[in-house]
Amino acid sequence: MDHFARLGLPAALELDGAALDRAYFAAQRQWHPDRFVARPAEERARASTEAAALNDAYRTLKDPLSRAVYLAGLKGVELPGDGRTIDDPDLLMEAMEAREALHEAATVDAVDALTTQARQDMQQALAGLGSLFLRDDRAAIRKTLLRLRYLDKFAEEARARRTNLQRVKA
Amino acid sequence: MTYSAKLIDHYENPRNIGSLDKSAEDVGTGLVGAPACGDVMKLQIKVGPDGLIEDAKFKTFGCGSAIASSSLVTEWVKGKTIDEAETIKNTDIARHLALPPVKIHCSVLAEDAIDRRSRQADRRHPHRRADEGLLGDELYARICRRPAADG
């Protein structure tokens, strides 16, 4: 059963966050271990398996990027796993230049400006995914998701850089 | 997890960080990335008229093992022909730096980068066969293998 089906939600890029929360908490109540303490061992085991699968589904679907990656996977678009490499020059040049700019950003303001830009790029890329899914343009979906992975990593590194700069200032 | 002295040395004092003029005729640039961990690596070589690699530079945004591996590779390729440089394997890098098994993929990154760049330098260099660059990719694939949870 895929994560969407497990939560009774349509398999779509756009997901109402509140509906996701409701579906998750309702299902989690249903399979809560407390309700199975007096039940036979096999039912307890089933409940604990279901609860773990629900957590996994919720975590995956909550974040827009991980949701998009997951949905793409359902549609047969696989991203390179751990240790696999890519050599797309446009994508990597963009990632390299962004990381260089972050490395050179000497003030919190400079980091924030780069972060704002990265967030805008992410939102735009996520918004553009919808029509790529509609057209089932797998190559473009893959490239966009890879770009989003790098933007996401950039945002993570920018947070770390910001924290460091603030620490130095203080 | 403990790291070898060589690995720490290359990480703390990386050799040959920087860039070469990527539009120069005798410079080959290899770019490679490992999207699962968000790492990106650039390796460049400058090939002399005698076909030997005169200079090598790298820029790596990634884990310590990826940085150490790229640093080591820039040292190793200098003075070699492109064909010789292409024979560098991630297992050589991993063995030299005593990379823990989970980090082996960091050395793949460096090896990919080498292969990609060598091919590109080949293409640009008038005395060498036309080919497409490989130095970046395999080098990365060979250098950077680490668990996602490991910074």
What CATH number did the domain enclosing A141 receive? 1.20.1280.20
Tens digits of per-residue pLDDT, B4-49? 888 889 888 899 999 998 888 888 888 889 898 889 999 888 888 8
pLDDT in tens, A91-113: 999 999 999 999 999 999 999 99
Distance to chain B for A84, nearest Cα, Å: 6
Q: Does the beta-carbon distance from B34 to A150 stay under 8 Å?
A: no
Report CA torsion sign: A103, A109, A115, A121.
negative
**Inside any domain, residue B124:** yes
In a domain, B149, yes or no: no
Residues A57 and A103 in one domain: no
- For the entire predicted model, the pTM comes to 0.81
When CB atoms are compared, the residue of B61, B105, B137 closest to A83 is B105
What's residue A25's pLDDT?
96
Domain finish residue from A62, A79, A111: A62
Question: Could you tell me if residue A79 is inside a domain?
Answer: no
Give the integer Cα–Cα distance in Å for A14 and A45: 33
Domain span holding position B48: 5-144
* B32 and chain A in contact, CB less than 8 A: yes
In terms of domains, do A45 and A96 share one?
A: no
| pLDDT digit string, tens, across residues B106-135 | 677 777 777 766 666 555 443 333 233 334
| B135 or A149, higher pLDDT | A149
Write the CATH number for B13: 3.90.1010.10
Give me the pLDDT at residue B118, please. 62
Instruction: Check residue B131 and give its pLDDT.
Output: 32
Q: Which residues of B does the annotation mark as catalytic?
A: 37, 106
Angle, in degrees to the nearest 10, between helices A138-169 and A108-135: 170
Same domain for A41 and A105? no
- Calculate the alpha carbon distances from A20 to A8, A23, A98, B125 in Å: 9, 5, 34, 57
| Residues A96, B141: C-beta atoms closer than 8 Å | no
Domain count, chain B: 1
